[in-house]
């Protein structure tokens, strides 16, 4: 009996998605809840599982098609799919041939005999590095491949010496000098959404950016002094982001307009801080939300951000991870940015941009000294935040970072 495969619920206010990739083709065996297709929504990639074990009998939509929540995209014929999906187990159950033993399969054949389900991040890495996933031994849960496995295999392949040729082969004709090429690639739904939201932010909001610089000496000293004890106790590295999250919380409590939003003809003020943290994902920039960051410890903040960063790399962020947020921190410094004017993340009204730390000469007590300095940028919607409020908020963040004791005494 054929079972229908439907587009699952994709999250609040999300009603459609684009078929990004088929993970199984007609005739392939599928297990219960095994992903058979990957859908791209406005924010994340969503895998569609099989409702039954059996054989994928038909694909009803093509890659690139737009599908609605609840739409039928494929059918699965229930039956012996579970057994077919695990030929290795079936082989063990079968009696051994009596005349003569068959030749032992090669390692590559053993790996390829058990079909693997690859996550979107792993599939992208396989295509990017040009490696055969069936020849790689996975280190993830249940032996599944991770992105790191693919990268390691690609590096090992690159480092391996080329086999000596038994006979000289003719060299291919050299490409014409000055050859010009073009490539057209359809924008993913995520990239289209990013483009629309950023353009909308520029058109709807009265954007302005205020700058300051911050001396990182005290934070670096505190981090160096306690990073080993912190990691030993909490199992996570002590980074700079938790300091800035705490400092931003102080600023948002003192200057509520920076943590507010315009909704229709009303201004909504929040007495909590849900912090959107911009992280880089394979398909573009995403902003998962650390909720109630104003109530969290340094360790809880670091653990939450690290978990979201890992999910972003693996392509497993969910719609729930991305919804909400009252304020955003974007750290362009990890990519080497010296200064930028970040764009707000609607409907939020402000975003804090962090940049790279570099030694610069500054005046201290009438003397020129070298200090680790960072430029800070606060972009804000001038419709709701006045310049005085924006400058005050950024000054509070600067003072808290330069004197971390303020973070402890809420000053």
Strand partners, 30: 54
Other Cβ atoms within 10 Å of 86 Cβ, number: 16
Give kind and range of the element (H or E) at residue 364. strand 358-364
- Please, where are the H alpha helices in 132-271? 147-159, 189-204, 217-234, 241-254
Q: Catalytic one among 132, 382, 403, 410?
A: 382
Tell me which DSSP letter residue 51 carries: S
Between CA 44 and CA 307 the distance in angstroms is: 16
Is residue 138 packed enough to be buried (19+ CB in 10 Å), middle (13-18) or exposed (0-12)? middle
Tokens of 176: 């014409």
Q: Residue holding tokens 């054949």?
A: 109
Q: Catalytic one among 33, 386, 403, 410?
A: 386
Q: How far is CA 193 from CA 197, 319, 326, 336, 349, in A?
A: 6, 14, 20, 26, 19
Annotated catalytic residue 382: yes
- Closest by CA position to 210, among listed 400, 394, 402, 398: 394
Contact 37, 98 (CB under 8 A): no
Greatest CA separation for the chain: 94
Between CA 356 and CA 250 the distance in angstroms is: 23
Between CA 387 and CA 379 the distance in angstroms is: 11
Q: Residue holding tokens 């205020």?
A: 210
Residues 144, 146, 150, 153, CA torsion sign: negative
End-to-end CA distance of the chain: 67
Q: Which residues contact 129 (CB under 8 A, 6 or more apart)?
A: 150, 151, 153, 154
- Please, where are the H alpha helices in 34-179? 81-84, 87-93, 107-112, 120-129, 147-159
Catalytic residues: 382, 386
């Amino acid at each position: 009996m054929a079972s229908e495969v439907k587009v699952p619920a994709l999250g609040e206010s999300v009603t459609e998605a684009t078929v990004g990739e088929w993970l199984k083709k007609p005739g392939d065996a599928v297990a219960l809840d095994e992903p058979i297709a990957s859908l791209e929504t406005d924010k994340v990639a969503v895998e569609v599982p099989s409702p039954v074990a059996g054989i994928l009998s038909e694909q009803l939509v093509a890659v690139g098609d737009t599908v609605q929540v609840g739409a039928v995209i494929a059918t699965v014929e229930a039956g012996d799919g579970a057994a077919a999906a695990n030929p290795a187990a079936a082989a063990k159950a079968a009696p051994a041939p009596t005349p003569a033993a068959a030749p032992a399969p090669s390692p590559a054949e053993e790996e390829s005999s058990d079909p693997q389900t690859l996550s979107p991040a792993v599939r992208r890495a396989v295509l990017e590095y040009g490696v055969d996933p069936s020849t790689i031994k996975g280190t993830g849960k249940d032996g599944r491949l991770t992105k790191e496995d693919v990268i390691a295999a690609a590096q090992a392949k690159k480092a391996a010496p080329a086999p000596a040729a038994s006979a000289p082969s003719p060299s291919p004709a050299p490409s014409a000098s000055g050859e010009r090429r073009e490539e057209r690639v359809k924008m993913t739904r995520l990239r289209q959404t990013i483009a629309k939201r950023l353009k909308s932010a520029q058109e709807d909001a009265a954007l302005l950016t205020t700058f300051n610089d911050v001396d990182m000496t005290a934070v670096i000293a505190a981090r160096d002094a306690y990073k080993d004890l912190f990691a030993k106790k909490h199992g996570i590295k002590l980074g700079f982001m938790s300091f800035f999250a705490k400092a931003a919380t102080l600023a948002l409590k003192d200057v509520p307009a920076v943590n507010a939003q315009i909704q229709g003809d009303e201004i909504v003020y929040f007495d909590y801080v849900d912090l959107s943290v911009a992280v880089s994902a394979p398909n573009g920039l995403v902003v998962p939300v650390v909720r109630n960051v104003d109530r969290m410890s340094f360790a809880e903040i670091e653990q939450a951000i690290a978990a979201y960063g890992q999910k972003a790399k693996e392509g497993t962020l969910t719609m729930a991870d991305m919804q909400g947020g009252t304020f955003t921190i974007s750290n362009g410094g990890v990519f080497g940015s010296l200064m930028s004017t970040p764009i707000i993340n609607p409907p939020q009204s402000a975003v804090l941009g962090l940049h790279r730390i570099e030694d610069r000469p500054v005046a201290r007590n009438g003397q020129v000294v070298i200090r680790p300095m960072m430029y800070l940028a606060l972009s804000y919607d001038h419709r709701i935040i006045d310049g005085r409020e924006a400058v005050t908020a950024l000054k509070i963040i600067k003072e808290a970072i330069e004197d971390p004791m303020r973070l402890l005494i809420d000053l």
